[in-house]
Structure 1
Amino acid sequence: MPDELIVWERVRQGDPDSFGAIFLLHRDRVYGQALRLTGSSHDAEDVAALVFLEAWRRRSSVRVVDGSVVAWLLICTNFVAKNASRSKRRHAIAMSKLPPQLDQADHADDVLARFEASGRESRLRDAFARLSASDQDVLTLCVVHDFSLADAALALGTPLGTVKSRLSRAKRKLATLTGSTDWDIPAHTIGGTR
């Protein structure tokens, strides 16, 4: 590699290839320092990535010492590692203050069992497959996945009024085809059919 000072001058002018050369030259030292400070290879990789991102971002003000930027990179590594450690501690403290999450029973198996016992699952799947693509889409979004009408309109690229009328029409068609008005439909029953 040519003189590092010459390469860094090209980096200051925005040359990404020269920056790549600097990265290859100093990545192991930066990573090693980050690993010593964090004790975790995953965290060390994050710290090293942030150091080189900061070096690129601040390339016009990076100090060159004895023809090399390695000293600046190592000092930056110390700084970034301290910030990462503080962030990790604050996150752990914040998470410890949250109430524990309670397990909640999943009612999907009960609903599925009721559908299977009555034979409605296969009738519903068959009826859904007979609907038009636009009816399937509006039912998938609004009934199966519980999107708001406004969000469904955005996703479908249609006016809100059109979504309302399509949903109403699709529910009526589905009710006619299945002989049911119970809209407690398990997502796996109709979600993937087209």
Structure 2
Amino acid sequence: MGNNKTGDSQLWQRSLKGDGDSFGLLFDRHRDRVFRHAYRLTGDRHDAEDIMSTAFLELWRRRASVRLVDGSVIPWLLVTTTNVARNTRRTTFRYRKLLDSLPRTEEVSNAADGPFLQTEMDHEAAKALNTLNELDLQLVSLVIFEEYTIADAATILHLTPGAAKSRMHRARQRMKAAFTSPSQPAPALKGDRS
């Protein structure tokens, strides 16, 4: 499909001119990272696959307004993935609320009780991430999961480095509180880089 050493910027420019192979190379280059990010946010493989697909669809749909950061499309994809995951979570919540309001005639088994149940840590991490507002979730995702520095994440999210550092500190406190229970201490969160 092309040279794997070609930068995102060159591939993006060629894909904007209609080169499908260049867009395919961008997809191949970043799909695993976007999938891992979506999986961390949802804790569900199928949801993560759908979210990853939607993020790349949005990349193409909004191609005229996509802004590369340091010649890379990955920051835009990661922020979009976070937004898509949040919207998916809202939709799922509304759908579950509707289903739960319907009258039941017999006991229905919960599919989550089956052998495909995610680990308790996945659910706890997703629960902790759900305590964050949209901007803080994007910041935590970039710093902790994607290993950007706080200063780089601040630039991507249009924050000052000081504001990003303060938001990061408060977000960690909220996440630790969500993890903490009487029987277990809060796990350490890594990625504290400025």
* Residue in structure 1 matching 2:103, options 99, 104, 107: 99
Give the equivalent residue in structure 1 for 2:45. Answer: 41
How far did 1:13 drift? Answer: 2.0
Aligned partners of 2:35 and 2:44: how far apart in 1?
Answer: 11
TM-score, normalised via structure 2 length: 0.51
Aligned partners of 2:7 and 2:41: how far apart in 1?
Answer: 30
Aligned residues: 103
1:86-125 correspondence runs (5 A) = 86-101=90-105
* Residue in structure 1 matching 2:17, options 13, 19, 23: 13
Q: Gaps (5+ residues) in structure 1? A: 104-194
> Identity, % of aligned pairs?
49
Give the equivalent residue in structure 2 for 1:64. Answer: 68
Corresponding position: 1:77 with 2:81? yes
Matching residue's letter, 2:76 = W
SS at match of 1:60: helix
Compared CA separation, residues 11 and 97, structure 1 to 2 (3 A):
same
Q: Following TM superposition, where does structure 1 have runs of at least 4 consecutive aligned residues deviating by more than 6 angstroms?
A: none
Aligned partners of 1:3 and 1:49: how far apart in 2?
Answer: 22
TM-score, normalised via structure 1 length: 0.51
| Greater helix share, structure number | 1
Matching residue's letter, 2:26 = I
Contact in 2 for aligned 1:11/1:59 (Cα 8 Å): no
Aligned partners of 1:87 and 1:94: how far apart in 2?
Answer: 11
